[in-house]
């Protein structure tokens, strides 16, 4: 731990460790549930930073729970409703409290369900090459951060650890999980995005894009899992400042990792620009504090 009160890596003794992701540590609870502990780790360009962001794990968990609650009418989700503290020793309860979800262990589908309402990141890159994203044709004349005529489903193949996710066509999704499930995943993803984006806009937040993950339960029912609609899995732009940035051709201001990414673009390691491979450059205190403040502001703005 390199910052007081921040958790870089959990090490619970009460439960067997299943896997560590970039952000979450997953522990097995029997063979049908998982305790997902959101650490304060942050990754950018798929590299995990050495320094944790204080408060981030708890904040992301609160935000995911907020959205699971709001969106439960659209599709079943992985929450069990049981308290995370109930499956660890009393001594370890404070380590999991506020930053964890006790979820159904699902069979993950190997597709990242990305929905875009705006053109940004890899979507903008692909559009400039092909006037389409993941095979979805788009009108001429769109710019970086343009609003799309309607939200589009732009799936990605789930990458192995250390690799980048790769955009794929809807036909590839059909070939991987079957036509029926692919259509259901697409329709549900767009409905979830639309409901969330509409709500966020009433709070002055643009959700430019987001990524959902789904799994199948023991009955084979499509179930929403992982984190949902956090600034780690989505682009969150304050509506204020969007138009001016868009017109000036700049990236819109954001509540998400863009602030850290922008700093990393300028960072040097041994006098050379950082090559976006591990190890990451050491984050200065003001970048840690600035990143924490962005996440905090996103949660406050969304839930006030």
Q: Which residues contribute to the site for ligand ATP (CB under 6 A)?
A: 21-24, 26, 34, 78, 103-106, 108, 158, 161, 213, 215, 225-226
- Comparing CB distances to ligand ATP, the nearer of 54 and 252 is 54
**What is the smallest separation between the CB atom of 100 and ligand ATP, expressed in angstroms?**
12
- Comparing CB distances to ligand ATP, the nearer of 32 and 187 is 32
Neighbouring C-beta atoms of residue 243, cutoff 10 Å: 11
Distance separating alpha carbons of residues 54 and 51, to the nearest angstrom: 9
Quote the tokens at residue 282.
């050491």
**What is the smallest separation between the CB atom of 125 and ligand ATP, expressed in angstroms?**
21
- Comparing CB distances to ligand ATP, the nearer of 23 and 177 is 23
- Comparing CB distances to ligand ATP, the nearer of 29 and 120 is 29
| 53, HSE (Cβ side, Cα atoms, 13 Å) | 28
Whether the Cβ atoms of residue 302 and residue 66 lie closer than 8 Å to each other: yes
- Comparing CB distances to ligand ATP, the nearer of 8 and 104 is 104
Whether the Cβ atoms of residue 145 and residue 242 lie closer than 8 Å to each other: yes
**What is the smallest separation between the CB atom of 112 and ligand ATP, expressed in angstroms?**
8
Whether the Cβ atoms of residue 100 and residue 84 lie closer than 8 Å to each other: yes
Residue nearest to ligand ATP (CB): 21
**What is the smallest separation between the CB atom of 160 and ligand ATP, expressed in angstroms?**
8
- Sign of the CA dihedral running 52, 54, 59, 61: positive
Whether the Cβ atoms of residue 93 and residue 85 lie closer than 8 Å to each other: yes
- Comparing CB distances to ligand ATP, the nearer of 131 and 164 is 164
**What is the smallest separation between the CB atom of 126 and ligand ATP, expressed in angstroms?**
21
**What is the smallest separation between the CB atom of 104 and ligand ATP, expressed in angstroms?**
6
Q: Give the E-state strand segments of the chain in sequence order.
A: 17-20, 24-29, 33-38, 43-44, 47-48, 100-104, 107-108, 111-118, 132-133, 136-137, 147-153, 156-157, 166-167, 205-216, 222-225, 234-238, 268-269, 272-273
- Comparing CB distances to ligand ATP, the nearer of 78 and 257 is 78
- Please report, for residues 114, 200, 208, 225, 266, the alpha-carbon distance to residue 108 in angstroms, rounded to integers and kept in the order given: 15, 28, 25, 8, 37
Is omega for the bond preceding 297 within 30 degrees of 0, making it cis?
Answer: no
**What is the smallest separation between the CB atom of 20 and ligand ATP, expressed in angstroms?**
7
């Amino acid at each position: 731990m390199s910052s007081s009160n921040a958790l870089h890596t959990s090490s619970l003794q009460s439960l067997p460790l299943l896997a560590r992701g970039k952000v979450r540590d997953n522990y097995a609870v029997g063979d049908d549930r998982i305790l997902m502990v959101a650490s304060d780790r942050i990754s950018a360009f798929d590299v995990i930073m050495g320094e944790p962001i204080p408060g981030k794990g708890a904040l992301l968990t609160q935000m995911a729970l907020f959205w699971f609650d709001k969106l439960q009418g659209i599709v079943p989700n992985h929450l069990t409703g049981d308290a995370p503290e109930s499956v660890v020793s009393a001594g370890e309860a404070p380590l999991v409290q506020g930053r964890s979800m006790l979820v159904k262990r699902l069979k993950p589908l190997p597709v990242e369900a990305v929905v875009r309402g705006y053109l940004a990141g890899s979507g903008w890159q692909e559009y400039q090459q092909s006037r389409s994203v993941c095979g979805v044709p788009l009108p001429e004349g769109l710019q970086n951060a343009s609003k799309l005529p309607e939200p589009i489903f732009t799936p990605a193949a789930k990458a192995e650890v250390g690799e980048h996710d790769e955009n794929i066509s809807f036909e590839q999704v059909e070939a991987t999980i079957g036509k029926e499930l692919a259509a259901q995943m697409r329709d549900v993803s767009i409905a979830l995005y639309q409901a969330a984006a509409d709500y966020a806009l009433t709070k002055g937040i643009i959700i430019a894009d987001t990524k959902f993950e789904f799994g199948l339960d023991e009955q084979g029912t499509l179930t929403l899992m992982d984190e949902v609609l956090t600034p780690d899995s989505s682009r969150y732009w304050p509506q204020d400042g969007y138009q001016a940035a868009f017109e000036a051709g700049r990236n819109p201001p954001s509540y998400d990792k863009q602030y850290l990414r922008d700093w990393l673009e300028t960072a040097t390691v041994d006098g050379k620009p950082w090559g976006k491979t591990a190890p990451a450059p050491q984050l200065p205190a003001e970048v840690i504090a600035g990143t924490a403040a962005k996440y905090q502001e996103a949660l406050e703005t969304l839930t006030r």
